Structure 1
Amino acid sequence: MTEEKIIALLTLKKTPNLGDSSIKKLVREIGSAEEVLKEKRTNLLKIDGIGSVKIKEINNKENRIAAENELQFMLDNDIRYTAYDEIEYPEKLKYCLDGPVVLFSRGTIDINNKKIISIVGTRKVTGYGVRFCEELIETLVPLNPVIISGFAYGVDITAHKAAVKHGLQTIGCLAHGLNQIYPKAHKKYVKQVEENGGFYTDFWSTDTFDRNNFLGRNRVIAGVSEATIVIESANKGGSLVTAEIANSYNRDVFAVPGRAGDSLSEGCNTLIKTQRAHMLTSAADLIYMLNWELEEKVQPAIQRQLFVELEEDEKKIYNLLKSNGKELLDVIALQCEIPTFKVASTLLNMELKGVIRPLPGKLFEAV
C-alpha cells in the first residue's frame, strides 16, 4: 500500500459522520480513496446514501494532519496496517460491510489458510468455564486453530493463555489503540501473545479508551473468524453482542449450555433455546458442525475425554451406534435390551455430553 493511499483512507476515517461502510461505498464509486478526496462535492452527493452531513468535513485539513500523525506513530512503533482491499487483510473480514477500512496490528500474526475461532464469555468466569475452555482448546491442538478473543478478564484471557500454553496462534482484538493495554493487569501477557500471534484494532493512538468502543472491537472478533463460541454469559453482556454480530455475518455461533437458573448460563441457554447458537458440549460438536477434517490423531483425545463420563447403559448405546451407524430409538432399545423410556432419557444425557447427535427421522448416531 502506498503512503498516499493509507493517508487518504485514514483521512476519510477521521472525517466525522463517515463510517466504514460509507467510505467503502465512496471508494467503490469514485475509484480510490485519493480520488474521493479530490472529487467535487456535487458528484459525491449523487452517490446513493451519501448525504451532505457525511461529507461536510471531508476536506478539513485537520483530518489529513491527524492521519499523517497517526501514520508516523505506526512507523515509529512497529505497527503494521492493512486496508480492506489488500491481500494481507483478514479474508473473512473482507466480507463484512462494516469491517474496518484500515486494520492495525502488532506481533507475529499469520492467519492465511488457518482454521479460526473466536472464544468469548463472561468476565466473572467460573471454574467450570475455565476448565471447559482449557479442555476445548487442548483437544483442538492437532487441528492448529487460531484462537481469537478480546483480551479481557475471564473467558477471554483464559482462551489466550490456553492457546499460548499449547503453542497455538492467538490474537487479541482491542477496544483501544496499540499505545495502551486494557486491563492494565494483562500487560504481563502482551509479550507472550505477540510471540504467538498478536493484536488487532482499528482504534487510533489518539482515541480515548471508552466502553462504547467494545461494540467496534466485537465486530472484529466476530468478523475475522468462522465461528464464535460463547462460554458462560449472563442474560446481558458483550459476549451476547458478539454472538449477534456473528449471526448477522452469517457465521456459526456455539454456546456452552449450563444449569437452569444459573445466572452465568442464562445467556448461553437463551442462545441455544432461541436457535441462535449450536449447543457445544465438546470439541467434537465444533468439528462436526464446521465440517473440519477430523484427523485420526484428534479422535483418541476426544474419545478419552468422553468415555470417562459414560454410564454402563450409555456405553452399550455408544458401542452399538459406533458399530451399526445411524439407528432408530426403538431399534436401540431392542438391541441394547434397555426399556424404551430409559433409552430416551439416556440418549438425551448422551447428547448433552456430546457423545451422540440426533438426526432427522428420529435417528441417532455416535459422534
Structure 2
Amino acid sequence: MVDQQNLYKVALTLLPNTGAITIRHLISYCGSAKDVLEAPKGKLMKIPGIGEKTAAGILGASSEALRQAEHLLKLAEEQHVRMLFFTDADYPSRLKTIADAPVLLYLQGNANLNARRSISIVGTRNATDYGRLVTERIVDELKPYGATVVSGLAYGIDIFAHRAALQAGLQTVGVMASGPDIIYPAAHRKYAERMLTQGGLLTENRFGTKPDAPRFPARNRIIAGLADCTIVVEGAIKGGALITADIAHGYDREVMAVPGNITSAVSEGTNYLIKSLKAVPYTSVQDLVELLNWDLQDKAAAVPSASPIFDSSEFNAEELKILQLLQQSQEELMDNLSWKTQIPISQLSSVLLGLEFKGMVRQMPGKRFMLVR
C-alpha cells in the first residue's frame, strides 16, 4: 500500500514549472506537501512569489501528479529504491543548507547519507597510474577516520575511489547522472552492486532517465554538496572535476587538490586550483585532518563533555533547531531559517517571538535574526 505522505511529497515534484526553490517556498508557508496540493487557489496566491499562473498550474496538475507519483512509488518499492524528500530525517543534512539541492533523491543501498565524515574524491576519466596510486593512498589513509567516500561512478579517478573504498571497508556512495535503474557506465555494474551493501547509489533523476550531457554538471553539485571536502586528484582545466571543485567552493565547502607533474595535461587543473588559491594542496591525510579539524574533534570527543550551550529542557524541538543553526551561522534571514530548519513560515514567526521573549535571539533589519548569547 502506498504511503499517503510520500505520495503527496513525490507528486509535488512532478508539477510542471515548479522547481526546487519554489517547492521549498510552498512547503515553508503551507506546512506540508499535502497541504500545498489541497490548498485553495486563494491561499496559494497569498504566498509571496506565487502568482495566479503558478497557483492555477498547481491546482490543474495535482490529480495527474498524484497518479504519476503512485506509479513511481510502486516502481521504487519493486526495485528496492528509497525516495528521500528534503523534509525527511534521512535526507542528507549537508544538502539541506544548499539552495539548489534536489528536493527528492532516489537511494539504493544501505548508505548513511548523514555520516559524521564525508569526503568527495573526483578527477579525470583519463587518469594516469600516478592518479590511481594517489587515489588508493588517499582512501587507505581515510580508514582510521571512517569517512564516507563519495564520487560519480565514472571511469578513471571516480571508480578508483569507489573500488579503493570497497577494499578498505569504507562506506562509498556513487552519485549518478541517470535514473536509479540505469547503471552508467555499464562496465562498472559489478562495483555498483557491491556498493549496495557497503554504501549505495544516489540520484535525483527518475526511473528510465538516460545520462545525457547536461545531467553531469547537475550530478556534480550533489557530489560537492554531500561532502565536507572535495579532493581533486587529476583533472584538465576545463574538465568535470574542476566544475565540481568550483561548485564546492561556491557552497563554502573545503576543496583540496593533489599537486601533479607540470608536464602532464591531467595535472593542469589541479595545479591551477592550487596556484589560484581555490584549493589547498593535498600531500597526506594530515593536510585534510588539519583543514577539517578532525584532530581537534577527536580530542574533544575523548574529553567528557561540558554542560551544553542550550539546556534542552528549557526549549522545545523547534527552538533548539533555530538556536543550533544560529550558533553556526550567527545570523540568518527568516526565509533561510524556515527552509534550513524545515519549520513552516506560519509556525516560525511564533517560535522566533518566543525566543525573543526568552532573550535568546534578536531581530535585525530586513527580517534577519541573530543569536544574543
Deviation at 1:262, TM superposition (A): 2.6
Corresponding letter in the other structure for 2:189: K
Cα distance in 2 between the residues matched to 1:127 and 1:165? 18
Residues 228 and 52 of structure 1, relative CA distance in 2, 3 Å threshold: farther
Q: Which residue identity does 1:22 align to in structure 2?
A: T
CA, structure 1 residues 12+251, in 2 after alignment: closer, same or farther (shift >3 Å)?
same
The equivalent position to 1:139 in structure 2, one of 138, 141, 160, is: 141
Query: What is the number of residues matched between the two proteins?
Result: 295
Q: Which residue of 1 aligns with 2:23?
A: 23
Shift in Å at residue 125 of structure 1? Answer: 0.6
* Cα distance in 2 for residues equivalent to 1:270 and 1:47: 45
Whichever residue aligns with residue 269 of structure 2, its letter is: G
Alignment-derived partner of residue 362 in structure 1: none
- Aligned counterparts of 2:18 and 2:172: Cα–Cα separation in 1: 31
- Structure 1's unaligned 5+ residue stretches are 297-367
Give the AA of the match of 2:158: D
Matched, 1:85 2:100: no
Distance 1:269 1:67, change over 3 A: same
The one-letter code sitting in structure 1 at the alignment partner of 2:246 is E
Higher relative contact order structure (alpha carbons within 8 Å, sequence separation ≥ 6):
2
Give aligned-pair identity as a percent: 40
SS at structure 2 position matched to 1:119: strand
In 2, are the aligned partners of 1:109 and 1:197 still within 8 Å (CA)? yes
CA deviations 1:3-36 (Å, max 9, x no partner) are 2222222222112221112101110011111111
State the one-letter code of the partner of 1:63: A
CA contact (8 A) 2:83 2:106 kept: yes
Q: Kindly tell me: are residues 285 and 31 of structure 1, through their superposed partners in 2, closer, same or farther at Cα, counting changes over 3 Å?
A: same
- AA paired with 2:92? P
The equivalent of 1:94 in structure 2 is 96
Cα contact 2:94–2:227 (8 A) shared by 1: yes
Q: Does the C-alpha gap of structure 1 residues 140 and 55 become closer, same or farther in structure 2, counting only changes over 3 Å? A: same
Report the AA paired with residue 166 of structure 1.
A
For residues 198-242 of structure 1, what are the alpha-carbon distances to aligned partners after superposition, in whole Å with 9 as ceiling and x for unaligned? Answer: 111111104333221112211211111111111111011221121
SS of match in other structure, 2:265: coil
Shift of 1:118: 0.4
Structure 1 distance, partners of 2:284, 2:45, is: 53
Is the contact made by 2:182 and 2:208 (CA closer than 8 Å) also made in structure 1? no
In the alignment, the residues of structure 2 paired with residue 269 and residue 64 of structure 1 have an alpha-carbon distance, to the nearest angstrom, of: 50
TM-score (norm 1): 0.76
CA distance in 1 between counterparts of 2:260 and 2:50 reads 46
Match of 1:252 in 2: 254
Q: Which deviations, in whole Å up to 9, do the C-alpha atoms of 1:60-112 show, x marking residues without a partner? A: 13322221111110111111122212221112112112222122111121244
Q: 1:101 to 1:171 in 2, by over 3 A?
A: same
Q: Give the root-mean-square deviation of aligned CA atoms.
A: 2.0
Q: Name the CA shift for 1:237/1:54 in 2 (closer, same or farther; >3 Å).
A: farther
2:168 matched residue in structure 1: 166
Counterpart residue number, 1:226: 228
Aligned to 1:326: none
Out of 166, 172, 178, the position equivalent to 2:180 is 178
> 2-side partners of 1:51 and 1:237: how far apart?
40
CA distance in 1, matches of 2:195, 2:132: 19
Amino acid aligned to 1:94: K
Q: Residue 154 in 1 paired to residue 153 in 2?
A: no
Q: Which residue of 2 aligns with 1:123?
A: 125
Moved more, 40-49 or 94-103: 40-49
- Asked if structure 2 preserves the Cα contact closer than 8 Å seen for 1:17 and 1:53, the reply is no
Greater shift after overlay, 155-164 or 60-69?
60-69
| Partner SS state of residue 125, structure 1 | coil
Report the equivalent of 1:347.
none
1:292 to 294, 297, 314: 294
Question: Against the structure 1 CA distance between its residues 65 and 162, is the aligned structure 2 distance closer, same or farther, given a 3 Å change threshold?
Answer: same
Aligned to 1:10: 10
Deviations 1:238-284 (A, max 9, x none): 21121122112211011112233532112212222222111112211
Please say if 1:35 is aligned against 2:38.
Answer: no
One-letter identity of the residue aligned with 2:43: N
**Cα pair distance change 1:130/1:52, threshold 3 Å:** farther
8 Å CA contact retained: 1:16, 1:54: no
Aligned 8 A contact 1:18 1:55 in 2:
no
**Does the 8 Å contact 1:177/1:204 carry over to 2?**
yes
* Closer, same or farther: CA 142–14 of 1 in aligned 2, 3 Å: same
SS of the counterpart of 1:123?
A: coil
1:73 to 72, 75, 79: 75
SS in 2 for 1:87: coil
